[in-house]
Structure 1
Amino acid sequence: MASETKIVNLAEEAKLAREGVKAPSYALLTISKSLLAGGVAGGISRTAVAPLERMKILLQVQNSHNIKYNGTIQGLKYIWGTEGFRGLFKGNGTNCARIIPNSAVKFFSYEQASKAILQLYRQRTGNEDAQLTPVLRLGAGSCAGIIAMSATYPMDMVRGRITVQTEKSPFHYRGMFHALSTILKEEGPRALYKGWVPSVIGVIPYAGLNFAVYESLKDWLVTSNPFGLVQDSELSVVTRLACGAAAGTVGQTVAYPFDVIRRRMQMVGWNHASSVVAGDGRAKAPLEYTGMVDAFRKTVRYEGFGALFKGLVPNSVKVVPSIAIAFVTYEVVKDILGVEIRISD
């Protein structure tokens, strides 16, 4: 009797799936697979570029009057010489603990936001065959970025602190949870969201452009096939990697100054970063920021406009493969798991 009931339930779920109506268990499984694919994509892509990620942060918060390294290669050599191989991956465990849920939420949120925006767009235009435009994709990507960033922001704060801590740092964190408890105890819960405003503003063009450029490039290549890259309406992995690289380059360049300001607001008082210059040319006490605008003003005033792009080179080298790997890994994992809906669909 029990086996007959189980067979009937499976038959009903299969029928609902064929008719386009998803049973609760079927929908939950699809959501879980989508989240898993996003998490795997984030973990793999970020670990692959972990040394460049650390180098970018160190360049962003480096005191301009006590420079240890002037570029990416020199900085990586310095880390290797002083901290060894493990130093290149310092903070990566915490970074993955943040990026895996962040990536999972971001990709899933983008799919849901895209569906909602497309449905509204079709209702407004009266065209049931209408598709997402680049502008609508930009909006969906921005929504996804804000949701994911806000949900995991304390982890980003902790990751930044662990990445730059040295023997001279005011606190020494043994790990992610110790850092969280120490910050809450010593600085209060608001400290976990230092730099949140520039992060929100920066993630709008960053995530929005990443998704919009990636999908628009893919659509253009599939529909026009200008270079003969499309085979059976499907792009190769290499072509998709190139689309992801272009998307990452555009998004990070536009949003980078906000990332610098966010990091500086998080690191106030740490590692002698962003110090005021005295009349004799020596650095005084570290800067304190009253907000995002004040951080922008003081950074440009004391270090010049170029300071807003400190670490851009290692970030560019990092973002190109990272975003590309994330997009392609997400689609490949979803194919392996048998999820029928991919980003570009």
Structure 2
Amino acid sequence: MASEDVKRREGVNKAPSNAVIGICKSLIAGGVAGGVSRTAVAPLERLKILLQVQNPHSIKYNGTVQGLKYIWRTEGFRGLFKGNGANCARIVPNSAVKFFSYEQASKGILYLYRQQTGNADDAQLTPLLRLGAGACAGIIAMSATYPMDMVRGRLTVQTDKSPYQYRGMVHALSTVLRQEGPRALYRGWLPSVIGVVPYVGLNFAVYESLKDWLVKSKPFGIIDNNNSELTVTTRLACGAIAGTMGQTVAYPLDVVRRRMQMVGWKDASSVITGDGRGKAPIEYSGMVDAFRKTVRHEGLGALYKGLVPNSVKVVPSIAIAFVTYEKVKDILGVEFRISD
């Protein structure tokens, strides 16, 4: 009897310990996935932001190749990766929280869905429910790390010919807090929340739904015969399709968010968009005002500035992130994956 009590207590103590270890492994896998995928496309990420906020009266480049050549010529190899350290400092925790939040949201939504349908074992998440789980994960992750994204955008925009107001992420955070107040760190948050719903939601929903369909239909050559799972190449393709759909829908909101983040930066007039009468930066009173002024001064096409490098970037970035996440969790021995 005494031995049974001891075993029972050991089991109770062991369960929370295993749960904590599982959470840590999941967060590590998500962080690694985010860091690897974003570093792989860092030059395209920087070019996208520069195009989004470029002054229309002082255009230095119009295309992806031309822009990358200009950065290489004026700033060298390091210029291609400027802001990547700050970006990784943001994307690693963001990705960790996003993937973990998606797993937890999926479990919770699936439990409620099974309770509602009365099917406790066989019911699976529908694409719409996956979209909801992905949207929840995106909002949580984005909100938790938004101040870092805000200052990362400003660090990325700085060039050799612009005043260097910020020396790094910590200096940028402290400077914005001191000069513009705490609210400035969340400038552009609303369009980010609205944009993250279709972006992250579609990423997860399309990726998983496409994988489920491929596993069930089993077209020739996409299943690894050794373990009856999709090959890495097929997973990359699924991630690429998911990323393309998500970013196309949400891109105008990303442009508006980035421009709102530049508001209040007094030394940024040489690099951010002008008001149509010179190089003075535009002031936006809110998201709707940012949309209206952008379209009025630069046309509807301005909402898609930087879309080409972003499309080139997002396809490998999302694909690498999904595959890296699942592979790292395999290495760490975590049983639950987003593909389960």
Counterpart pick for 1:62 among 29, 44, 54 = 54
User: Are 2:198 and 1:205 equivalent residues in the alignment?
Assistant: yes
Give the distance between the partners of 2:198 and 2:19, measured in 1 at CA: 31
Identity of aligned residues (%): 79
Give the distance between the partners of 2:14 and 2:214, measured in 1 at CA: 32
- Structure 1 residues 114-263: aligned runs within 5 Å: 114-128=106-120, 129-166=122-159, 169=162, 172-230=165-223, 231=225, 232-263=227-258
**What does residue 89 of structure 2 align with?**
97
1:241-280 deviation digits (Å, cap 9, x = unpaired): 10000100000000000000000001125244221123xx
Give the distance between the partners of 1:338 and 1:122, measured in 2 at CA: 27
**What does residue 259 of structure 2 align with?**
264
1:122 Cα offset (Å): 0.7
- Of residues 227-236 and 256-265 in structure 1, the stretch that sits farther from structure 2 once superposed is 227-236
Structure 2, unmatched stretches of 5+, are none
- Structure 1 residues 303-322: aligned runs within 5 Å: 303-322=298-317
Give the distance between the partners of 2:282 and 2:248, measured in 1 at CA: 26
Give the distance between the partners of 1:246 and 1:11, measured in 2 at CA: 48
Give the distance between the partners of 1:118 and 1:137, measured in 2 at CA: 9
**What does residue 277 of structure 1 align with?**
276
Give the distance between the partners of 1:295 and 1:40, measured in 2 at CA: 35
Give the distance between the partners of 1:306 and 1:10, measured in 2 at CA: 65
Give the distance between the partners of 2:164 and 2:247, measured in 1 at CA: 31
- Contact residue 46 and residue 322 of structure 1 kept, 8 A: yes
Give the distance between the partners of 1:260 and 1:307, measured in 2 at CA: 8
- Contact residue 40 and residue 329 of structure 1 kept, 8 A: yes
1:305 Cα offset (Å): 0.5
1:11 Cα offset (Å): 10
1:226 Cα offset (Å): 2.6
- Contact residue 244 and residue 327 of structure 1 kept, 8 A: yes
Corresponding residue pairs, total: 329
Give the distance between the partners of 1:250 and 1:22, measured in 2 at CA: 43
Give the distance between the partners of 2:259 and 2:313, measured in 1 at CA: 20
Structure 1, unmatched stretches of 5+, are none
1:168 Cα offset (Å): 5.9
1:167 Cα offset (Å): 5.4
TM-score, length-normalised on structure 2? 0.93
SS in 2 for 1:172: coil
1:65 Cα offset (Å): 1.5
**In structure 2, do the counterparts of structure 1 residues 127 and 69 end up closer, same or farther at CA, with 3 Å as the change threshold?**
same
- Contact residue 134 and residue 201 of structure 2 kept, 8 A: yes
- Contact residue 274 and residue 299 of structure 1 kept, 8 A: no
1:233 Cα offset (Å): 2.6
